[in-house]
Amino acid sequence: MKKLFVKTYGCQMNAYDSAKMADLLAPLGYAATDAPDGADMMILNTCHIREKAAEKVYSELGRLRRLKREKSDMLIAVAGCVAQAEGAEIVARAPVVDMVVGPQSYHRLPEMIARAARRQGHALETDFPALEKFDALPAPGGGGVSRFLTVQEGCDKFCTFCVVPYTRGSELSRAPEAVLREARQLVDTGARELVLLGQNVNAYDGGGWSLAKLCDALAEIEGLERIRYTTSHPRDMADDLVAAHGGNPKLMPYLHLPVQSGSDAVLEAMNRQHKADDYRRLVDRIRAARPDIAMTSDFIVGFPGESDADFEATLRLVRDIGYATAFSFKYSKRPGTPASTMRKQVAEEVKTARLEALQKLLAAQQHGFDDGQIGKVLPVLFEKPGQQPGQVMGRTPYLQPVHVLGDAGLIGAVATVRIEKRTANSLHGVLA
């Protein structure tokens, strides 16, 4: 057996793709390992969303150059969004790289490996051959209780700060039959929860099938307990999807719905195509359909032109909505995006101060939300053994990790748990 090490950066789509690449290379005799030492093949599955994420690739490649000196037949592949955006630059800057493969071309890895092994120079595959990839990738192997399933890729929204429409291409949805087939395979191999993935997943359009209809069809699969989806755009939150949150009991009451900013001026400059109040009204409607739904979001601070008043509007929106958790980032200039050349870029110190203030508010909301579960009895889906012996770890409907004393036989089952306390990042409880 040859050893394969896949290092994954960035979003859940990349995690899904990494698993798929490992499955794809298994028939070639590669077994996935969780450490780089002694690997025969190394894949860096990269992220281009912010500058820091992209820089990590080049510093990792510097380290790999030394590893490769000791093991000269090791193959190094750069995959993911940096590969897509900077493929030619990677080949030029890092000769240690044997192949560069964009997110739409993973199914070509076996032939690329064959070429690289014959030392026919660097291989570069960064076309967008549509949905061919999914059909060419193997069926899922055995694995965890909660699994990702990509149903949609790409984005047509063109938010002015974002590279995704360029790195992942335009919106494409997989056919519902293909999604349902993969879902059944996943459930047959142990999945009890499916997380439907897409850069803009609620724009899903499977030949007339909406995401709501897809979730309803998935809910029919026996053995599947929970359905989640991520990540969504407020503009694509269709009425039937809002209604599904009330009507589909397997759809979990947890929704990642990024708003980015609470200022209308900034939302406009970002090309988000809605106002802050549209978002407030939308959340009201979602909560009317499913009163206990937990909301989460992404925020960007220091977008070009963001004033103190604009930032205050973001804090106000956060207070109005009340988030279970949220991600927040300093605006990072991305080459080729409209915002990167906007005048009135915000000073780094200002970004730092705003990020700190926002994160403080979000952390307080998160702790408040987690503390709010104490004393409640919640259905928990158990995923794996806990950190301590005799413990099992599961998740609430709101995705909070919960540790309880219990038998490993609980893994894969939903059981009710009385929540007793919160530690830094998780909840603790007893079987009820």
Residue numbers of the site for ligand 5AD (CB under 6 A)? 49-50, 161-162, 258, 260, 298, 300, 329, 331-332, 334
Scanning 82-90, 101-109, 156-164, 215-223 for contacts with ligand SF4 by CB under 6 A, the matching segment is 156-164
- Decide which of ligand SF4, ligand 5AD, none touches 329; Cβ closer than 5 to 8 Å per partner kind: ligand 5AD
Measured in degrees and rounded to the nearest 5, phi and psi for residue 228 equal -135, 165
The identity of residue 225, as a single letter, is E
Nearer to ligand 5AD, 174 or 256 (CB): 256
**Nearest-angstrom CA–CA distance, 262 and 239:** 23
Does the footprint of ligand SF4 cover residue 330 (CB under 6 A)? no
Min. distance of Cβ 289 from ligand SF4 in angstroms?
Answer: 23
From the list 157-165, 210-218, 305-313, 384-392, the region that binds ligand SF4 by CB under 6 A is 157-165
- The DSSP bridge pattern shows strands 254-256 and 294-301 to be parallel
Shortest distance (Å) from residue 404 CB to ligand SF4: 36
How far is it, in rounded angstroms, from Cα 297 to Cα 283?
Answer: 12
* Least separation in angstroms between CB 158 and ligand 5AD: 12
In the bound complex, what is the minimum distance in angstroms from residue 381's beta carbon to ligand 5AD? 25
User: Residue 226 CB, nearest distance to ligand SF4 (Å)?
Assistant: 24
User: Rounded to the nearest whole angstrom, what is the least distance from the CB of residue 353 to ligand SF4 in the complex?
Assistant: 24
Q: Does 300 bind ligand SF4 (CB under 6 A)?
A: no
- 327 contacts ligand SF4 (rule: CB under 6 A): no
* In 339-386, alpha helices (H): 348-371
Find which of ligand SF4, ligand 5AD, none residue 300 binds, CB within 5 to 8 Å per kind: ligand 5AD
Q: Rounded distance, CA 232 to CA 259, Å?
A: 10
30 binds, among ligand 5AD, ligand SF4, none (CB under 5 to 8 A by kind): none
Measure the CA–CA gap between 188 and 202, rounded to whole angstroms: 26
**Separation CA 147–CA 133 (nearest Å):** 19
Q: Does 21 bind ligand SF4 (CB under 6 A)?
A: no
Q: Is 155 in the site for ligand SF4 (CB under 6 A)?
A: yes
CA separation for the pair 16, 334 (Å, rounded): 24
How far apart are CB 298 and ligand 5AD at their closest, in Å? Answer: 3
User: With binding defined as CB under 6 A, does residue 48 bind ligand SF4?
Assistant: no
The one-letter code for the residue type at 420 is: E
- For 71-175, where are the alpha helices, taking DSSP H only? 80-93, 109-117, 132-136, 164-167
What CA–CA distances, in Å, run from 370 to 172, 400, 426?
36, 8, 8
- Site residues for ligand SF4, 373-412, by CB under 6 A, read none
Contact 270, 159 (CB under 8 A): yes
The length of the chain is 432
Question: 134 touches which of ligand 5AD, ligand SF4, none (CB within 5 to 8 A by kind)?
Answer: none
**Separation CA 127–CA 122 (nearest Å):** 16
Residue 174 binds what, of ligand 5AD, ligand SF4, none (CB under 5 to 8 Å, by partner type)? none
Among 37, 158, 316, 344, binds ligand SF4 (CB under 6 A): 158
Local structure of 308: helix, strand or coil:
helix
Comparing CB distances to ligand SF4, the nearer of 63 and 158 is 158
| Structural tokens at position 346 | 């915000």
Single residue of 233, 290, 354, 395 touching ligand SF4 by CB under 6 A: 233
Site stretch for ligand SF4 (CB under 6 A), options 60-68, 154-162, 187-195, 212-220: 154-162
Residue in the block written with tokens 């995923």: 383
Q: How far is the CB of 199 from ligand SF4 (least distance, A)?
A: 5
β partners of residue 30: 2
Is residue 230 close enough to count as binding ligand SF4 by CB under 6 A? Answer: no
Q: Which does 165 bind (CB under 5 to 8 A by kind): ligand SF4, ligand 5AD, none?
A: ligand SF4
Beta carbons of 328 and 314 less than 8 angstroms apart: no
3 state DSSP class of 372: coil
Nearest to 329 by CA among 306, 351, 307: 351
Nearer to ligand 5AD by Cβ, of 23 and 278: the residue is 278
Give the Å distances, CA to CA, from 342 to 80, 165, 252, 345.
27, 19, 40, 7
Binding positions for ligand SF4, rule: CB under 6 A: 155, 157-159, 162, 164-165, 199-200, 233
